[in-house]
Each structure stands twice: as C-alpha cells, then as structure tokens.
Amino acid sequence: MKVGIIGGTGGMGKGFAVRWCKDHNVLIGSRDAERANASAQEYSELVKEAYGSINGNITGTDNTTVAKESDILVLSIPYENIDAICSELLPQINDNCVVVSPIVPMTKTDTGFECVAIKENKPFSHQTVEKHMKDKTKLVSAFHVISEKKLVNPTLKLDYDIFVAGDSKESVEVVNGLINEIEGLRPIYLGPGALAYLVEMSTPLLLNAMIRNKMKNPGIKII
C-alpha cells in the first residue's frame, strides 16, 4: 500500500514515515521535490539502522505526485494552510484514497495553547478539509494526541490511545489498521466526522497539561 504524507519533511511526517515504511511504500511530499527526496534519504538511513531490512521503502517527490499516487494520504500540515493545499491536491486523489487529518486548529497565546476554532469562531479542521473532498466518507481524523518527539524515534516503544473520527466504517478500519501497525498504539473510535472537533480540542489540552505540570511528551491512555 502507498502511504503519502503531505508535509512529510516536518516532524510528524518523519514520524509517520519511519514507522510505516516497515510494511508500506511511503511517499514524502513537499512543494520542493528535491527537499522531499533529501528527507526521504535521511529517513531511509535512520530506519536502516533501526530495523535492518524492511518490506517497504521511503521516497520523496512533489505534493501533486504524492496526492495522485497514494492509497492513503496524510495531511501533516498547519491549520492555516488547509484551504490553499487541499483545494489544489484533494481533487487529484484517486476515488479509493483515504485521507487522514491530524490537523489541529491551535495557537499559542500568553494564556497558553488555545483552540483557534473556538477562540476566533472559525471552522474546525475536519470541517475545513471536508469542503475539498470529492467523497467526504473517505476523510478520517486521527493522530492528534501523539508525541512527535517519541514518534520520530523508531526504536522507542509507545503506549498511547489514538482517537479516531470518521463517517465510513471502511475508511475508519483502514486508519485503525495503520494505528495498530505502530507498536503500542490503540485506536479509539469516537464517532462520525461531525465529532472530530472533540479530537482536535484534545491537543491544546494535552500541551497545556504538559507545560504547567512539567511532563515530558505525554500522551493519552484510557484505562
């Protein structure tokens, strides 16, 4: 399966790539194809040292090519770039492609990390991405409460729950499969895409708890 990551040269994109390349062909996307290719080579060296041999690979190219070729497309992009990026790329994905949104409408203020959608009365990420989907049932929100610093270390064992929201059972199952492939992660289904805002609000909550209580890269586990 081809897993494409838009924003693949960033920290979260790197984390997804080094975790999923064990069994999938991962496509790193960037506006600059050369930068994407350089990142892919860097990640490949990292996983070679961590795993030895793998069943998949990591390659890099431009965002448009990634969007067209992916079976699963992860939007590892800032909230403020959703409209510009999604309006260009999502009309070009294939009809069976599942789109994953880990995007958080968040800003840092003097008070702490706050939810932009609430503070400035703006739409949440899932709603904004959904406008650009040919088939909204292919959109799933997930991966909002995973520590980037822990995700990028392929030898580090994780122990987190990942909240998932989406309208299609089939699309959710595809994303759940990717979550389960990362050792120590467990998918927790919250409901349809209309409830994705609950997932998105959990990120600033977690970050504020981390900073105020001097925690180190915490996650969420339901027990």
The predicted-structure confidence for 34-54, as pLDDT tens digits, reads as follows 999 999 999 999 999 988 889
Across-strand partners of 113? 108
User: What integer is the mean pLDDT of 89-100?
Assistant: 97
Q: What is the pLDDT of residue 212?
A: 93
Asked if 114 and 107 touch (Cβ cutoff 8 Å), the reply is yes
Say what the pLDDT of residue 192 is: 98
185 in Cβ contact with 158 (< 8 Å)? yes
d(CA 146, CA 63): 24
Domains annotated for the chain, with CATH where assigned, are: 2-212 (3.40.50.720)
| Cα(93)–Cα(103) distance, integer angstroms | 19
Rounded to whole angstroms, the Cα distance separating 90 from 63 reads: 11
Identity at 205, one-letter amino acid code: L
Quote the pLDDT of residue 218.
86
pLDDT for 207 beyond 90: yes
Q: What is the pLDDT of residue 165?
A: 98
The reported pTM is 0.95
Q: What is the pLDDT of residues 13-30, one digit of tens each?
A: 999 999 999 999 999 999
Residue 203 pLDDT > 90: yes
Give me the pLDDT at residue 155, please. Answer: 86
Side-chain half-sphere CA neighbours of 145 within 13 A:
28
**Mean pLDDT on 56-69:** 96
Mean per-residue pLDDT, 92-104 = 97
Kindly tell me if the per-residue pLDDT of 147 is higher than 90. no
Q: Report pLDDT for 204.
A: 92
Q: Give the per-residue pLDDT at 217.
A: 83
Q: Could you give the strand order of the β-sheet that contains 57-62, starting from the edge strand earlier in sequence?
A: 57-62, 25-30, 2-6, 72-75, 98-101, 139-141, 160-166, 185-191
The packing angle between helices 33-51 and 11-20, to 10°, is 50
Band (124; pLDDT cuts 50, 70, 90): very high
DSSP symbol at 195: G
Helix (H) or strand (E) holding 166: strand 160-166
169 CB-near residues (< 8 Å, 6+ apart) = none
101 half-sphere exposure, CB direction, 13 A CA radius: 32
CA-closest candidate to residue 26, choices 38, 45, 43 = 43
